[in-house]
Each structure stands twice: as structure tokens, then as C-alpha cells.
Structure 1
Amino acid sequence: MRNRWAILAILFVVRLTIAFQFQSVAAVAPLLQQTFGVGLADIGILIGLYFTPGVVLALPGGAIGRMFGDKPTTITALLLMTAGSLVMATTDIWGLQTVGRLTSGAGGVLLTVQLTKMGTDWFAGKEIATAMAIFVNSWPAGVAISLLVLPAIGTASGAGAVFAATGTLSAIGIVLILLYQPPPEVTSSAAGSARLDHLALLAVIVAGMIWGLYNVGFAMIFSFGPSLLAERGWSIAAAGSAISLVMWLSVFSVPLGGYLADRGRPLVVTIAASIAVAALLAWLTRSDAVFLTLVLIGLIGGFPAGPIMSLAARVLAPETRAIGMGVFYTLFYAAMMLGPAIAGRLAKSAGTAAVALDLGALTVLACPPLIWVFERIAPVRSQRARS
């Protein structure tokens, strides 16, 4: 298979399994609280544990992918995700839930780094923002599907059935990834130097911070949004359906943001959308206009995804993409590990999940200054690379 858009479709579906699995805890958080007798702080930790392996595995994950190849690495990652889900599906001990979550997260880390590198291989310099927007769109799509499907499964059959469903989807991903083929030019350049120069490394670090902080803010919506609405008397299913509006609308706003970025002024689009999302997150906890606020977040919140994800591709050569994406995702996973855990602690102390949404507003608001920093670094690095 050599059609790059068909390849992108495969990567989209396989990456969707990560979002579906990640959201499984938050989607049935009230059910888990009842089943295991835990609180919001414990739920926040369990959510964040999915990203914990990323702090230590993302960087070597890039090297692992470069050493063993795309398919073996992605298949191994999907097997880890499946195994973790099976552990969570078959135990009623909270400690083993954390073991399963960590195992799944380790697979998710390896898969995320490798899939991003594979997508960049096919689209670097060729509508990269649009392609990356479609690629990252698999995340809101996977979350939205989980918010609609998993609460119903959990209510009908219990938490074990929820995690069995995530494991089944990961196993399907193994079949799909067998269809992937790398582009010829990447195969021929794979033997080049994988060493990042200092400016490229700094630029990738800043890009990873931007992506991590933006996603922490967005994650607060679907991680603690259902609990916020449950505090207001909503049922688990109704809360999940309402929050899923953000994800479904993002399915349209994310590729639109990438399309606009590829056709000019990506900086303006990203900064304006980030400020708007921060304001809407803060408003969500203080307003009764829940549906209107969620609709606006969904329509606007997807715009920065493609432009942000394309930042690293601007400073990485084919031979440095694997290690560069490892650095990028190390920062992302560090943010996503700490964000939900801190939010859960703050929510427990304040007695309300609203505090988690306020934290999300602050992390999104931190993105525009970092984007300005990246834009100062990237042109300098490009000029030196040409000289």
C-alpha cells in the first residue's frame, strides 16, 4: 500500500485505540468509585498513570522504533495495551488495576511515538499540518466513542466489560498495522545520523511543552467533566453524552484548523483559539449554559491541534524523527501524567471537580507565550541548517 492518504487512514484507526483505552477510566469514573470504594484523587491518579511510562519510555521508544522497525514496534505496543486491558478486566483489586493501567500505558507510549513518526514520514513537507490534524483527530474521535459506548457497557455489565472492550479494540489494531508500508525515501535515508543539534533539540522541547500543556487543559474536560456534571445531578450516561459533544465537534474543528494552518497564518489561529478555549474552560464551571459552552469548546478547541503537532516536523530531518518524537512525547507525557493527578488532588481538597477545569484553563493559557518562543527558535535553526 503506497497511497499516503490510505496509510493515514490506517494510522488514524490504530491511534484511535489509544484514546479509547485512555478514556475508559474517566468514562466510568463514578462506577469505579462505587465498585472499588475510591475517591476523585484515586481516579485522577489512575487516569494519569496511563501517561506515567511516557516519562521514561518516550525517549528510548524513539530509539527502539529506529532499531527494530515500524511494524515490530507497533505490534509489540498493541500487545502491551491488550494485556493491560485484560488485567484490568479480570481483577477486583485496586492495586492490580494500577498494574494493568501502567502496562497499557507503556504500550500506548510506544505506539504514540512510533505512529507519529510514521505519519510524519509520509507527509513531511506535503500538507503536514492537515495530515497531522487528521492524525490527531483520532484522539477526540476515540474519546467521543468511548464516552458514548463505555458508560453503557459499564452500566449493563460492569467495569470488567469496559476494559475487555478496550482490549478487543487494541487487538484489532494489530491486524490493521500489518497493512502499513513505509515511504521509499525514508527507507533509503534511515542510515543517516540520528543526532539532534542543540537548536533543534530546544525547539522540540518547547513544542513538546506546548502540546503537553494544551492537552492537559483539554483532558480536564473529558477526565473531570463527567464528574462535574454528576455533582450537578446528571446521570453517568447523560454526563458522558454531554461531554462527548466536545469530542464529536473536534472531529470537524481539528482538520479545519490544520487546513487553515497549511494555507497561512497558523500562529494567529493557534494563539486565538488557545485564549478562547482557556476562557471557555473557566466559564464552564461557572455557568449553567453547559451545552452551549461545550459546543463552543468543541468548535474552537480543535483548531490548534494540527499546527501544534506540525511544529516538531518543521525542525526534524528524516533521520532524526524517531529520536525527536521521543523527546517531544517525553514532555507531553510528563505533563499528562502530572496534570490529572494534580487536578484530582485539588478537586479532593476543594470538594468539587470544578477546580480541575480551572487548572485546565491555566495550562491552555500558558501555550501562546511558548508558541512565541518556538517561533523565535525555529527560523534560526532553519537558517543554520541551510548554511
Structure 2
Amino acid sequence: MRLPALLALMGIRATGSFQLQAVASAAPALVAGLGLSYAELGLLMGAFMVSGIFVAVPAGLLARRIGDRAVLLGGLVLMAGGGVLAGLAGSFVLLLAARVLSGVGGVAVLMLVIKMTTDRFSGPMLSTATSMVIVTWPAGMAASLLVMGPLAASGADGWRWVFALSGLPALVALLLVPLVGQPQATQAGGAHRAVPPAPRWPMVAAASLCWALLNAAIAVMAGFLPGYLIAHGSAPAPAASFASLASWAFAAATPFGGLVADRLTGRAAAVMAGAVATAGLFAAVVASGGAGVVVILLGVSFALSPGALTAQVGEATPPSARAAVFGWYSGGSYLGLAIAPWMAGALRDASGSAAAPLLFGAALMLGLLPAYVWFRRSVSR
């Protein structure tokens, strides 16, 4: 496994989740300063990803034409620019537009990093490599909560600094792009051997639905767990730090989740077990009132599914089609990430219960089970 390329891909992908989580980090300040509802907060969370529904596939096709690196560099620049504009926004509408702009760059970056990882590490350890890249998603979220939460609470304009600085890691990541290396086929000087048959669209649709449900549940956990803890008596800054434990646990456990899938249980069992465990632990967080050990276990439970699922999609897709297929696959997750936070926020507004979003997260993970069965059947046909 080529460590420099892997570390570079990990660092680049972390920029997306760091910027995505800016809304959750600044949520109390946005409610107090701009008078936003929780549904509007959910829209701001989802706005970063909503462009992915329309951008992911064209970005994949553009990368195939002009190269992965060129699109990756452009995406990072858009992320940084959108963050600055969000910090200067004077209304909800302008803030929403700035988040969409950041998201155009962010979705291209997130999609391409997964595709580039599959190109460089295909083989028996693909779940492990993919898991190590995916781990940067919760790590970026946790770092954002840890750093940006106190910054948002520092004063009346704290939320502006949160958004303005949320794009700074993307600027730093520009320096990592030259380190990502070349795909395995390019280094070998020839085409991939034993190219599998072209995937069927039902497989792509099923994989995209699975990825959408999984990422939607992660977004609900990261976006609404701090609010649940605040509703149970915690101050905003400590709640953000405490909620970050779930994301840190997810980050720490995800590489081991990939190893478990590759070496012990098999990838199918890892996906199914992860879905059931995560649904149960969402409910356990509510039942326990946010007990620390349960919050940590919730993060750990998310670690089993992502790498195993993504590795199966990569293996079922010919190398020449991966840019387009991972565009659709990522687009599915962006649909979930765009809609789920708004739905979770609307559920909280309608019910008046801070637990409603977390129970919604449990339902999303249970929905992953039939979607994954559909995916497996589509692959085997």
C-alpha cells in the first residue's frame, strides 16, 4: 500500500466534511443571531450537498476528459471561495447560496477521492484502503465541531468566522494534490486485466440508494446530536465537543471496520451487521439520555459498513466506467445528505422533541437493509 498517496487522499477528503459541519458547529449562534428555524438549519446543512445531485455525474465525466487532478483542484478552490462568501453573507438567502457554491466544489472533491482510491488500491485490501479514506469524513466533522464550536460562541460575529475559515483546509489541500500518484494501470504501463462486464443500471441505482441512506444517517448524527445534548442540559460549546466523540469514534474505528470486512466477516456481513447495530444504538442514545459510552458506541457502529460497501461497488465496476459510476454513487449520497437534515429538522420542529432526529437516523439505517439486498441481487445477475 503506497502510504504517501493514501495520506494525501485522506487529507484532501477531510476538507469536505470539515466545511460541511460548519452549520452544526454554528447552529446555536445562527438560531440566536439570524433567528433561523431548525428546518432552515437543516437546509443549510443539506445545501452543501444538494448540488451533488446535479454536479457529481458531470464532474465525473469532466474528470474523464480533462483529468482527475484538474477537476480536484477546481473543486478545492470553489470550496475556499464559498466559505469566504458565507462569512460575508447578510441574510439566509445569501448564506444558502454561498453554501451551494462551496458544495459544487465539495461534491466534486469527495466523489473523485473515492474514485481515485479505487483506481490506486484495487485488490484484496481495497476495503481497508477505502475505509482509511472514508475515515476522514467523520474525522473532519469531529475536528470542525471541536474547533468551530468554541469559535462560534466567541461573540456575535463568531458564526461568520466559522464559515469564512471553513474553507481554509481546502486551500491547504491544494498542496497535497501532486502527492496522490497515478492509477495502478498507468504505473503498470497497460490496461487493467480481467475487466469485469459493464455494470447494469439497477446495480448503480441500488448502490446509490445504499450510500444515500448511510450518509444521511451520518449527517443526522453529526448535525443533531449536539442539539439533543443541549436539550438535555448541556451548554452549546461542551455539547459540540461531547458530540464530536461519536465522530472521533467513527474515525478511529473505520480502518478496523475495513480490516474486519476484508479478513474476518466478509463484506456483505459487515454491511448488514453495521446497519442493524447503528439503528439500535441511535435508539439507545435516546433511551440513555445521551450517555457517553453509548454516544461512542454509536460512532463505532458506523465503521463497519462504508468501506465494505464502497469496495463492492468499485469491484463491480470496470475501471473505464468508474468516473461515471462513482458520480452516480456519490450523487445518491448527496441526495440523502441534502434531504435528510431538512427532514430531521422539520421533524424536530413539528414534534418539539430533540430525540426525533435521532430516531429518524435509526429508521434510515434500517432502510439500508432492503436496499443492500437489492444491490447484492443486482450485482449477481
Return the TM-score normalized by structure 2: 0.94
Shift, 1:298, TM fit: 1.9
Whole-Å separation in 1 of the counterparts to 2:56 and 2:77: 17
Report runs of 4+ in structure 1 exceeding 4 Å deviation.
Answer: 186-191
Deviates more, 1:142-151 or 1:351-360: 351-360
Cα RMSD after superposing both structures? 2.1
Whole-Å separation in 1 of the counterparts to 2:357 and 2:332: 20
The superposition leaves residues 199-254 of structure 1 with CA deviations (integer Å, 9 ceiling, x where unpaired) of 53321221121111012112211101111111122111111111111111112211
Identity %: 30
The superposition leaves residues 129-181 of structure 1 with CA deviations (integer Å, 9 ceiling, x where unpaired) of 00010010000110111111101122225111112221211111112113332
1:170-209 alignment runs, 5 A limit: 170-183=170-183, 185-186=185-186, 197=198, 199-209=199-209
1:1-387 alignment runs, 5 A limit: 4-156=2-154, 158-183=158-183, 185-186=185-186, 197=198, 199-264=199-264, 265-380=266-381
Report the secondary structure of 2:281's partner residue: helix
The amino acid that maps onto 2:246 is V
The superposition leaves residues 273-300 of structure 1 with CA deviations (integer Å, 9 ceiling, x where unpaired) of 2111101112222323521210211222
The superposition leaves residues 75-127 of structure 1 with CA deviations (integer Å, 9 ceiling, x where unpaired) of 10001101100001122222110111000011011111111111111011241
Shift, 1:269, TM fit: 2.2
Whole-Å separation in 2 of the counterparts to 1:330 and 1:296: 29
Whole-Å separation in 2 of the counterparts to 1:301 and 1:319: 30
Whole-Å separation in 2 of the counterparts to 1:127 and 1:200: 25
Whole-Å separation in 1 of the counterparts to 2:186 and 2:368: 32
The amino acid that maps onto 2:19 is Q
Report the secondary structure of 1:261's partner residue: helix
The amino acid that maps onto 1:270 is V
> Do the aligned partners of residues 186 and 331 (structure 1) sit closer, same or farther apart at CA in structure 2, a change above 3 Å counting?
farther
Whole-Å separation in 1 of the counterparts to 2:229 and 2:177: 38
Whole-Å separation in 1 of the counterparts to 2:369 and 2:45: 26
Whole-Å separation in 2 of the counterparts to 1:253 and 1:270: 14
Kept in 2: contact 1:201–1:324 (CA 8 A): no
Whole-Å separation in 1 of the counterparts to 2:379 and 2:238: 45
The superposition leaves residues 360-383 of structure 1 with CA deviations (integer Å, 9 ceiling, x where unpaired) of 100101112222222222233xxx
Shift, 1:186, TM fit: 4.2
The superposition leaves residues 297-341 of structure 1 with CA deviations (integer Å, 9 ceiling, x where unpaired) of 122221112101212102111100100101111211111111111
Shift, 1:184, TM fit: 5.2
Whole-Å separation in 2 of the counterparts to 1:338 and 1:160: 24
Whole-Å separation in 2 of the counterparts to 1:184 and 1:216: 32
> Do the aligned partners of residues 314 and 30 (structure 1) sit closer, same or farther apart at CA in structure 2, a change above 3 Å counting?
same
Shift, 1:354, TM fit: 1.5
Kept in 1: contact 2:121–2:184 (CA 8 A): no
Whole-Å separation in 2 of the counterparts to 1:229 and 1:364: 21
Kept in 1: contact 2:275–2:368 (CA 8 A): yes
Report the secondary structure of 2:21's partner residue: helix
Kept in 2: contact 1:121–1:186 (CA 8 A): no
Kept in 1: contact 2:120–2:184 (CA 8 A): no
Kept in 1: contact 2:229–2:290 (CA 8 A): no
Return the TM-score normalized by structure 1: 0.92
Task: Tell me which residue corresponds to 1:383.
Answer: none
Aligned length: 376
Whole-Å separation in 1 of the counterparts to 2:38 and 2:75: 29
Whole-Å separation in 2 of the counterparts to 1:293 and 1:162: 29
Shift, 1:50, TM fit: 0.9
The amino acid that maps onto 2:221 is I
Unaligned runs of 5+ in 2: none
The amino acid that maps onto 1:217 is A
Kept in 2: contact 1:28–1:236 (CA 8 A): no
> Do the aligned partners of residues 319 and 189 (structure 1) sit closer, same or farther apart at CA in structure 2, a change above 3 Å counting?
farther
> Do the aligned partners of residues 136 and 287 (structure 1) sit closer, same or farther apart at CA in structure 2, a change above 3 Å counting?
same
Kept in 2: contact 1:344–1:356 (CA 8 A): yes
The amino acid that maps onto 1:356 is P
Whole-Å separation in 1 of the counterparts to 2:181 and 2:191: 14
The amino acid that maps onto 1:117 is K
Deviates more, 1:316-325 or 1:85-94: 85-94
Unaligned runs of 5+ in 1: 381-387
Deviates more, 1:96-105 or 1:153-162: 153-162
Kept in 2: contact 1:41–1:345 (CA 8 A): yes
Task: Tell me which residue corresponds to 1:384.
Answer: none
